[in-house]
Structure 1
Amino acid sequence: MGYFSKLVGVCAAVTLLSVAVVGAEEKDPLKPRVAPDQMADAKAMKNPVASTPESIAKGKALYEGKGTCFNCHGKEGKGDGPAGAILNPSPRNFTNCKFHKKRKDGELFWVIKNGSAGTGMVSLIPAAINEEEAWMIINYERSFCKGGEE
């Protein structure tokens, strides 16, 4: 295969990936992902890390760095990251304010710690991040909702 043919193939693949990313839609955005028998405990958990500009900035660095959250959830939290394009259901869209109003911090923490069956979300604690870092990431994820009713 010549250089031009390879280039066309790569461009086609990138175009398909871009279409998949743009067209990715989260299924059941309000559906909880915590195991039903653990929901009460998850909802009762409180974030021990205050949501401050500093903790949000640290959460952003973790989200885009060693937490690798951006790979699936995208840099802007829309669930449109490059790895998320192949997932079904697609990753959570953290810009969806209805999602944030429905979910408690403890539920988000539970999913980060335990993963989410039937989705591409895997357990990140302690494999990639520690518990305090997870809470900072949650503070950052909350910042994607700008207070609207999306």
Structure 2
Amino acid sequence: MSMWPKRLLLLCCGFFLLWGCGEQSEQGARPLLVKPPPSEQVLRGARLYRDYCAYCHGEKGNGKGLNTPYLPKLPRDYTDGAYMREKSDQDLYEAIAQGGRGVSLSPLMPPYDQTLRPWEIWDLVAFLRTLAPQAPRKESESPFSFPQREPSPLPGPYSLSSRGLPR
């Protein structure tokens, strides 16, 4: 038997297969909308928020935490898009670092500049931005000007303690 009819049949099948692939169904034409996973920075900020902020600001950032009934003034609602649109990342950073008193807000919010490292505060800011996603930050700023991670200590007997002394 000759190879010519088999080749012609294969060529015709391939042509019809490719011809059918050229059409897009209405469903296939729509882009698939998938929310990207949170960044490492946002995940670190979420852990810090849970440990330091959620007691007053609430698990969802809506200002309804466990301590809220005992506070004379309600904590900030970070899910409020109008408020979050007005605040730059630098504004949020300073409020966390200096505390409420440092930025002329509630004196009950403690300053965290001695508790958290600068990049941890930036991690918190990144997480706060996810609580009101409809509120992008102000355009006039350059976000996250601090390094994101602390350098790893040297291994072994050369490791340094927090005060720079050998262990």
TM-score bracket for this pair, using the shorter chain length: 0.5 to 0.7
Could you tell me whether the CA contact under 8 Å between 1:94 and 1:100 is conserved in 2?
Answer: yes
Q: AA paired with 1:114?
A: Q
Q: CA offsets per residue over residues 41-61 of structure 1, 9 Å max, x none? A: xxxxxxxxxxx6211111001
Cα displacement (A) at 1:84: 2.6
Cα separation, 1, equivalents of 2:68 and 2:112 = 16
Correspondence 1:89-108 to 2 at 5 A? 89-108=73-92
Which residue among 49, 65, 71 is the counterpart of 1:87? 71
Rg larger for: 2
CA RMSD, aligned part only?
Answer: 1.5
Which stretch shifts more, 111-120 or 56-65?
Answer: 111-120
**Contiguous gaps of at least 5 residues in structure 1:** 1-51
Match of 2:117 in 1: 130
Question: Within the alignment, does 1:121 sit opposite 2:109 as a pair?
Answer: yes
Q: AA paired with 1:144?
A: L
Correspondence 1:27-106 to 2 at 5 A? 53-65=39-51, 68-106=52-90
Match of 2:127 in 1: 140
Cα separation, 2, equivalents of 1:53 and 1:137 = 12
Q: How many residues of Structure 1 are paired with residues of Structure 2 in the alignment? A: 94
Segments ≥4 residues shifted beyond 4 Å:
none
Could you tell me whether the CA contact under 8 Å between 1:72 and 1:85 is conserved in 2?
Answer: no
TM (norm. structure 1) is: 0.58
Match of 1:109 in 2: 93
Q: AA paired with 1:122?
A: P
Cα displacement (A) at 1:146: 2.9
Helix, strand or coil: the match of 1:116? helix
Q: CA offsets per residue over residues 71-120 of structure 1, 9 Å max, x none? A: 11011000111113322321110100011100001111111111112512
Cα separation, 1, equivalents of 2:72 and 2:125 = 23
Cα separation, 2, equivalents of 1:70 and 1:112 = 13
Helix, strand or coil: the match of 2:75? coil
**Contiguous gaps of at least 5 residues in structure 2:** 1-37, 136-167
Q: Point out which structure has higher relative CO (alpha carbons under 8 A, 6+ apart).
A: 1
Identical pairs, percent:
24
Which structure is higher in helix share?
1
